[in-house]
Chains A and B, each alone.
Chain A
Amino acid sequence: MAHVEGQQHPIGIYFWIWGLLFVLSAGSYMVDYLNFQGYLRWSLILVFMFLKAGFIVAIFMHMRWERLALACAILIPTGALLVLIGLMSFEGDYVNATRGMFFSTESAAPVGQLVDHVVGHR
């Protein structure tokens, strides 16, 4: 069994992607450093995140050159996680709303202080 089935690609592409990941990471750090807020912040974070993740999976993990059967077996179940995220965001909103309804007489700060007090450090 001397044959090798692995992925062999020119070294240049790794250097390019490496550099690109540095630039994208610097970009996402600048989002915080320049203190962008609101939808601009969130959309920039997501764009940089998905670009970085995509390049890592496609090039560094060689998914781009694998057969579609493997890519689908791995990526489609991952996509199903969006359902979980969607459901839990509804749940989070709902719990937040009920807390707003039932705990509304208490202001936000004392809850954290109460926990600190009970636990006994600070």
Chain B
Amino acid sequence: MANEAVADTGRSIAMVEGLPGIVADWSSDQRAFKRVPWHKAMMWIFLLSDTFIFTCFLTSYMTVRMSTTVPWPNPSEVFALTIAGHHIPLILIAIMTFILISSSGTMAMAVRFGYQQNKRMTAFLLVITALFGASFVGMQAFEWTKLIEEGVRPWGNPMGAPQFGAAFFMITGFHGFHVTVGVIFLIITAVKVMRGSFDIGRPGFMTGRKGNYEFVETMGLYWHFVDLVWVFIFAFFYLW
């Protein structure tokens, strides 16, 4: 079936006509990426396209920040919090950074325990990762609320260059959306692990392909990418 078509490459294939022929032709190519399952290669290609999207956002942010004649708001001050009487610069962003890195660590371990077919540890670590992700989104909601209350809008703000709000809401909003989607799929993956879908090769609800523990690694690729994008946002938007 589908697996045979991937494995057999060297023999001649009968030509199919019409619409099924399109499918047959496109799927008859030789496998280019050895030692990775197709869904992992496709996840990498998706992440590459996502890299281009985030680079477009960060590059437009760079362009508006370089070209504006109005002083850019100081992120160190804008994102400062007063905790127990101490005024600490950028503290919430720092906490969010550590939370996302921790979630990357638990995700990497979940992948490892997945390959050992350790259901309980894999599902447990996936849920922990999802909780880290959810708390990250929660803090981002808090941060947005605080800034909106201070009068920051996509078209202007009291602190300086009006482009600040546009760049902030666009970049962090798109990243937060990625985290949210990741949390949802982490929970779906954890449920699949717990009920043994990857042990018996139960077909997935979206693709109908047989599940296996390589899916956990593909899920991990997406999650690490979310962390990776945050590294660049943290450096260029919050620290620069």
Q: Which residues of A contact B (CB under 8 A)?
A: 1, 4-9, 11, 14-15, 17-18, 21-22, 25, 28-29, 31-33, 35, 41-42, 45-46, 48-49, 52-53, 56-57, 59-62, 66-67, 69-70, 73-74, 77-78, 81, 84-85, 88-89, 91-93, 95-96, 99-100, 103, 108-109, 111-112, 115-116, 119, 121-122
The answer to whether A103 and B35 touch (CB under 8 A), given A14-B109, A32-B239, A121-B153, is: no
Q: Which 10 A-B pairs have the closest CB atoms?
A: A92-B66, A95-B67, A18-B105, A49-B235, A115-B156, A92-B63, A14-B108, A96-B67, A29-B94, A92-B67
Q: List 16 A-B contacts (CB under 8 A).
A: A6-B213, A7-B111, A18-B101, A21-B101, A29-B97, A32-B90, A41-B239, A45-B235, A45-B240, A60-B107, A60-B108, A73-B33, A84-B55, A85-B59, A85-B62, A108-B71
| Chain A residues near B162 (CB-CB < 8 A) | 111-112, 115
Q: Tell me if B214 and A66 are in contact (CB < 8 A).
A: no
Q: Tell me if B214 and A69 are in contact (CB < 8 A).
A: no
| Chain B residues near A41 (CB-CB < 8 A) | 239
CA–CA, A92 and B69, complex, Å: 11
Q: How far is the CB of B167 from chain A (nearest CB, A)?
A: 13
Q: Tell me if B32 and A112 are in contact (CB < 8 A).
A: no
Q: Tell me if B217 and A7 are in contact (CB < 8 A).
A: yes
CA–CA, A54 and B158, complex, Å: 37
Q: Which residues of B contact A (CB under 8 A)?
A: 3, 32-37, 40-41, 44-45, 47-48, 51-52, 55-56, 59-60, 62-71, 76, 89-90, 94, 97-98, 101-102, 104-105, 107-109, 111-112, 115-116, 151, 153, 155-158, 160-162, 201, 210, 212-214, 217, 220-221, 224-225, 227-228, 231-232, 234-235, 238-240
CA–CA, A28 and B238, complex, Å: 11
The answer to whether A5 and B239 touch (CB under 8 A), given A53-B228, A53-B232, A70-B44, is: no
CA–CA, A48 and B239, complex, Å: 11
Q: Tell me if A28 and B235 are in contact (CB < 8 A).
A: yes
Q: Tell me if A1 and B69 are in contact (CB < 8 A).
A: no
8 further A-B contacts with Cβ under 8 Å, apart from A53-B231, A85-B59, are A6-B40, A6-B213, A6-B217, A21-B104, A35-B76, A70-B41, A96-B66, A112-B162
